[in-house]
């Protein structure tokens, strides 16, 4: 019952429907873009990403960031949260199912609400001219426990949720 109420609140009142349309990507070589590299630990899909993993996974595949969520069981689970950056989110894409929502709040922030019945939901995005990406996540209104958040091929856990990934300075 609680999950059904949350689904109604999230999809009906909090988020409007519709897919995102990204603006043109900023030049990655522009002099006004921060330098540095993203942590290599984020490269590659965590082994835990599978139907029923109960949690969230974040990784990079080249320039594309991938965020996926799933919950064990076939009962309704609602994942909500946001993705933001100090740069610009570009090429935001997802396979939205009935009840899933992405809303662009600004050029640098999107919010999401995924209704999950044990499958895998998620979003792909780029972070142009960014030095950091911040992710928040909740499952049925409760902040995700860090032990259920998997980062990169090594399945590391963040220190807290929300968490921020920062670029490392490029050696001179």
| CA pseudo-torsion sign 35, 88, 71, 60 | negative
C-alpha distances in angstroms, 7 versus 10, 75, 122, 135, 156? Answer: 5, 12, 17, 21, 30
* pLDDT score of 117: 87
pLDDT tens by residue, 51-73 = 889 999 999 999 999 999 999 88
Mean pLDDT of 86-101: 86
Assigned token pair, 8: 């109604």
* pLDDT score of 31: 63
Q: What is the pTM of this model?
A: 0.80
């Amino acid at each position: 019952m609680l999950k059904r109420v949350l689904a109604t609140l999230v999809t009906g009142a909090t988020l409007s429907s519709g897919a995102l349309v990204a603006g043109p990507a900023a030049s990655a070589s522009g002099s006004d873009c921060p330098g540095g590299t993203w942590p290599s630990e984020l490269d590659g899909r965590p082994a835990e990403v599978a139907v029923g993993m109960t949690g969230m996974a974040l990784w990079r595949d080249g320039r594309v960031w991938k965020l996926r969520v799933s919950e064990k069981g076939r009962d309704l689970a609602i994942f909500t949260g946001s993705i933001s950056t100090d740069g610009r989110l570009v090429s935001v894409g997802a396979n939205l199912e009935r009840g899933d929502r992405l809303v662009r709040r600004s050029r640098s922030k999107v919010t999401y609400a995924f209704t999950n019945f044990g499958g895998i939901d998620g979003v792909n995005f780029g972070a142009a001219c960014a030095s950091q990406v911040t992710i928040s996540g909740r499952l049925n209104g409760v902040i995700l426990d860090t032990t259920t958040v998997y980062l990169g091929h090594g399945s590391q856990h963040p220190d807290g949720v929300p968490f921020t990934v920062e670029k490392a300075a490029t050696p001179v």
